[in-house]
Chain A
Amino acid sequence: MNEIILETNTAVYLLSELIVWFMLLIAFIVDIRLLTRWDYGSFDPEQYELEKRAYLVMTVIIFAFAVKAPLLPYFVFTIDELSALVPGAMCGAGVISANGYGLPLLFVKIVTTLSFVLWLTINHYDLEEGDYPWFRLKSLLFIAVFTLVSVELWLDISFFTHIDTTRPTSCCSALFGLLEGENPLPFGLDTKSLLLLFYTLYLVTVGSIAISWNSMTAISSTLFLYISYYAVVYFFGTYIYQLPTHRCPFCMMQKEYFYVGYIVWGTLLGGYFGILSSLVAETLPGVGAERVKRFSALLLTIFVAVCSAYVAYYYIENGVLL
């Protein structure tokens, strides 16, 4: 365990997460008081004091997110660097699978990031109004955010302290490789159907955003996220690696592949989070989030373009597909 914890990136990462958690702990303690005593219509000394503290809490949360946002790609970078210490691991995929905490940790990280984005969105529109109409909603949401951050920190510490550098783990070819006859794709899809679904869902998502059909946007974007994972790992990734048997969501974040994985996953998750947060914001009375939706559509377009470009480039260079 020691060599894992003392590895520079791990130490920096865990220390940063701890500091962020501590800042949010302070915000959480103040937030509880705000939630129980808040009465915007009052002109009492206590309410004025609460309003000052509310501003402090918002500032702390926004700052914490500003620090936490780059910690997600930094986590991926860190576990990728640790693959040199973990036997059998060729990339972050192997390290994540080194113990039972890895995958839940990754999942909680993504959910925590999404919850932060939701909080920031509601906070933005709450401040725009001038009389804090959604103060209680965002205070309650922050309780959920802090709970997730606390669980994440516990999983972070558990994960890194339980990586056994004497026990081999599986590499991505074992994790994502295919046994003969096996079909890892959902719904029994083949590659052609997967791609058809991929591009169709993309067009439906972008089209529904253009005509403000929110319910369709919610459904199609969620399905698109799900299908995109498989499309990237089992199709587009092979063109990034230019190897039909190399299927891995992590390797594309390495230097050899020009860190393109950060763009691929960043635009996909960023686009989806943006869509989700804008749809949630538009459930608030009088709120329109067209710009956020359009920006999210742009992110998804970049995602699709980057993935497609690798296929096109391979075909142009070699005259065949993998």
Chain B
Amino acid sequence: MERNSHNGNIHGDDETNERDMVVEIENLYRRFDDGSDTFEALSDISLTVARGECVILKGVSGSGKTTLLAIMAGLDRPSSGSVLVEGRAISKLPDRHLSRFRGKHIGMIFQHYNLMEHLSVRDNVSVPLVPAGFSADEIEMMVSEAMEMANISHKSRMEAGRLSGGEKQRTAIARAIAPGPEIVLCDEPTANLDRANAEIFIEILGRLYEKGKTIVVATHDPIFEKLPFPSRVVEMSDGKITE
């Protein structure tokens, strides 16, 4: 893949080429048609993310960060261009394969958590594990580990609707990491958190980084500019990578 100044890679060509690429995006476009107009949400995006790397997609609202993240997660499909995750062209997979792939390889943390308010924390974390074919004992073990990592075990039986914002976010983290995905994608994870909870989130993110997870965060929160672990910032504006 040809390297250029807009590919979001600041490590240098040789170093990047030696590393195992988990995400490889090339010449990506995402256009939305509303009948009379075509809006280009993403324009000629090329980006690679190495295994175990933490990438911060930084940009204001409307810069295309969330759209790019959704395409990486397989929740949206590009208009053109290739998206390889763990070597699979996920933009081309049929829906049933995409769901299976996403369940196995990708954990997603949403801005508004997307929890099932009437279920307990434990049940929310269990949800992605049930269709994956794990036994009850395996689910129990994986759920406990994930809640422990996300520091939410003490609220396991509480209904998600009764949690605070920070607790909901930690439940969302536990749910995302419970299946043991290699990749964790976070969409504006601190947008609805106060400073204290945002710092707790960063701390958990650090633990995931130490465990070797590949992390991509879409955010405009300046707290991500000074992470306590190595990360790479990719600036986006008007659907393009600018730095």
Residues of A in contact with B (beta carbons under 8 Å apart): 40, 43-45, 48, 51-52, 55, 127, 130-132
Contact = CB atoms under 8 A, between A and B. Distances in A.
Task: Give 10 closest A-B pairs by Cβ, nearest first.
Answer: A130-B97, A45-B80, A43-B82, A45-B79, A43-B81, A127-B94, A44-B80, A130-B93, A43-B80, A130-B94
Interface of B: 26-27, 29, 77-82, 89, 91-97
B93 A48 contact: no
Given A43-B82, A43-B91, A48 B96 contact: no
Given A130-B93, A132-B94, 8 more contacts: A40-B92, A43-B81, A43-B91, A45-B79, A48-B77, A48-B79, A127-B94, A127-B96
Contacts of A130: 93-94, 97
Contact of B78 (A48, A131, A132): A48
Given A43-B80, A45-B80, A51 B92 contact: yes
Contacts of B82: 43
B82 to A, nearest CB: 4
Q: Which of B26, B91, B92, B97 has the most CB of A within 10 A?
A: B92
B198 to A, nearest CB: 37
B81 to A, nearest CB: 6
A55 B91 contact: no
20 contacts: A43-B26, A43-B27, A43-B80, A43-B81, A43-B91, A45-B29, A45-B80, A48-B77, A48-B78, A48-B79, A48-B80, A48-B91, A51-B92, A52-B77, A55-B94, A55-B95, A127-B94, A130-B97, A131-B92, A132-B94
Contacts of A55: 94-95
A127 B97 CA distance: 9
A51 B78 CA distance: 12
Contacts of B27: 43
Contacts of B89: 43
Contacts of A131: 92
Contacts of A48: 77-80, 91
Contacts of B91: 43, 48
A121 B83 CA distance: 30
Nearest to A46: B80
A303 B77 CA distance: 48
